[in-house]
């Protein structure tokens, strides 16, 4: 493995190989919440399957899920979404992929802020769309400066991708900043894709209530991506939805029809059960916060530097100064201590940073921190 070009996908693959060999790997590199799914969700999944909801269905998604998802968004975000604005998808990533399928001929250039989730770049490249990035900096708390916004205004783009809250930094953009970004895109009549899968992980209930969803702006050329993977710890269910203009919904519906036909009905009914219980995301939000703040305390004592997150379960930290090669540290940490972390190069080329995911139970996080401390002790002597 080339240390200089490692990605978190490579780390994950190698970590799974070590696990298959019987080694005890601690996964701090993936955003897969190790939280028991609420029992009533699993029970509904099984109940609906046993009732015979195992056949073909509408490629839009069943009405019950679309109505419930619209109600969920409207209740939490103060929006005016209707079921006809929603297409059910196998997670949010497939929704983005299908949307790029239908608009790629009309888009030459996309823009986004970095650091950010690496899948955007890969999907855009797959569709022949050039990506221009604005690289934010740690010293500015990962916020674009006025010069950055001016640079963004000077780019000729047709698509803007927003990820709020952020993966990997765990920080949330406030309404004022989102307003500025939306204004820049609107002035260019550019499409805005807003990845909002983490909005329910914002730690403070009041901030969830005031979350600046793109749906609040009622902009004609917008797409909102949503999912139950993080908010309800349902990553394996692969259940999400896209909210956008109905013309685009119809075009994506055709892709669904010609590819996988529909998201399984019994999974959608489990999703209805999940969305009908507002206590689930509130319960998980506290779990994520407690795990992340525990990890933050441990990492600070070990000499890592970062801005404390206000959402998600991620920490984007620079390594102690005596570590000259972060990629080497990441590889040795996995090979010598069986701890997997995500190198910062995966999120926009931030070679001196690591993304830590506090998605494990605290006892496993604690064990992972102990192992990291062991490697640091050897490294500094």
* Boundary-marking domain end, from 222, 244, 277: 277
The pLDDT score that the predictor gives to residue 9 is 87
Answer yes or no: do 199 and 135 share one domain: yes
From 258, 277, 296, the end of a domain falls on 277
Residue 4 has pLDDT above 70, yes or no: no
| 242 and 152 part of one domain | yes
Q: Is the pLDDT of residue 309 over 50?
A: yes
pLDDT at 1 over 60: no
If asked whether residues 226 and 161 sit together in one domain, one would say yes
d(CA 82, CA 74): 9
Kindly state whether residues 288 and 175 are assigned to the same domain.
no
Q: Is the pLDDT reported for residue 218 higher than 90?
A: no
Q: Are residues 265 and 293 in the same domain?
A: no
Let me know: does 95 contact 225? Beta carbons within 8 Å. yes
CA distances from 136 to 11, 180, 198, 211, 277 (A): 25, 15, 20, 21, 37
The range of the structural domain enclosing residue 57 comes to: 39-277
Q: Are 80 and 144 members of one domain?
A: yes
Count of domains for the chain: 2
Question: For residue 180, what pLDDT band results from cuts at 50, 70 and 90?
Answer: very high
Banded pLDDT at 8 (limits 50, 70, 90): confident
Planar angle of CA 224, 127, 123, nearest 5 degrees: 55
Q: Are residues 209 and 311 in the same domain?
A: no
Buried b / exposed e across 330-360, counting CB within 10 Å, b at 16+? bbbbbeebbbbbbbbbbbbebebbbbbbbbb
pLDDT of residue 99: 98
Please report, rounded to a whole number, the percentage of residues in the chain having pLDDT higher than 90. Answer: 96
- 264 and 300 co-located in one domain: no
Please tell me whether residues 60 and 73 are part of one structural domain.
Answer: yes
Q: Is the pLDDT score of 207 beyond 70?
A: yes
User: Which of 248, 277, 306 is the last residue in one of the domains?
Assistant: 277
Query: Across all residues in the chain, what is the average pLDDT?
Result: 96
**What pLDDT, on a 0 to 100 scale, did the predictor assign at position 234?**
97
pLDDT band at residue 2, thresholds of 50, 70 and 90?
A: very low
d(CA 311, CA 298): 18
Q: What are phi and psi of 15, to 5 degrees?
A: -60, -40
Instruction: Check whether residue 251 and residue 303 sit in a common domain.
Output: no
Q: Residue 6 pLDDT > 90, yes or no?
A: no
The pLDDT-based confidence of 7 (bands split at 50, 70, 90) is confident
Residue 132 belongs to domain with CATH number: 3.40.640.10
Q: Is the pLDDT of residue 76 over 50?
A: yes
pLDDT above 80 (res 296): yes
- Cα–Cα distance measured from residue 373 to residue 368, given in angstroms and rounded to the nearest whole number: 9
pLDDT tens track for 93-112: 999 999 999 999 999 999 99
The stretch 312-317 carries a mean pLDDT of: 98
**Same domain for 180 and 160?**
yes
- CATH code, 319: 3.90.1150.10
Higher pLDDT, 198 or 6: 198
Q: Give the distance from CA 367 to its chain's centroid.
A: 25
Domain match, 73 and 100 both: yes
């Amino acid at each position: 493995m080339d240390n200089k070009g490692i990605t978190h996908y490579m780390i994950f693959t190698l970590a799974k190989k070590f696990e298959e060999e019987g080694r005890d790997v601690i996964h701090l590199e993936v955003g897969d919440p190790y939280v028991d799914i609420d029992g009533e969700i699993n029970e509904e999944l099984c109940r609906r399957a046993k009732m015979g909801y195992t056949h073909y269905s509408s490629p839009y998604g069943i009405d019950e899920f679309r109505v419930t998802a619209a109600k969920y968004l409207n209740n939490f975000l103060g929006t005016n979404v209707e079921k006809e604005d929603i297409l059910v998808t196998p997670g949010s990533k497939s929704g983005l992929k299908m949307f790029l399928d239908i608009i790629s001929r009309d888009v030459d250039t996309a823009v986004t802020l970095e650091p950010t989730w690496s899948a955007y770049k890969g999907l855009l490249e797959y569709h022949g769309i050039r990506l221009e990035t604005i690289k934010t900096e740690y010293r500015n708390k990962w916020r674009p400066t006025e010069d950055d916004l001016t640079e963004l205004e000077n780019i000729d783009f047709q698509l803007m991708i927003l990820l709020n809250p952020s993966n990997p930094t765990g920080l949330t953009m406030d309404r004022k900043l989102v307003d500025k970004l939306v204004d820049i895109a609107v002035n260019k009549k550019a499409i805005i894709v807003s990845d909002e899968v983490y909005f329910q992980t914002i730690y403070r209930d009041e901030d969830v209530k005031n979350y600046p969803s793109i749906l609040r702006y009622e902009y004609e050329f917008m797409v909102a991506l949503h999912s139950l993977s993080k908010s309800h710890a349902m990553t394996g269910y692969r259940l999400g939805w896209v909210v956008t203009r109905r013309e685009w919904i119809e075009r994506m519906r055709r892709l669904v029809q010609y590819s996988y036909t529909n998201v399984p009905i019994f999974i959608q009914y489990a999703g209805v059960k999940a969305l009908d219980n507002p206590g689930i995301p509130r319960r998980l939000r506290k779990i994520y916060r407690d795990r992340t703040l525990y990890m933050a305390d441990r990492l600070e004592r070990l000499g890592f530097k970062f801005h404390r997150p206000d959402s998600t379960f991620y920490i984007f930290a620079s390594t102690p100064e005596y570590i000259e090669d972060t990629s080497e540290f990441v590889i040795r940490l996995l090979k010598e201590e069986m701890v997997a972390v995500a190198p910062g190069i995966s999120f926009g080329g931030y070679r001196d940073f690591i993304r830590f995911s506090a998605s494990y139970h605290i006892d496993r996080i604690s064990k992972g921190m102990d192992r990291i401390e062991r490697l640091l002790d050897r490294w500094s002597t």
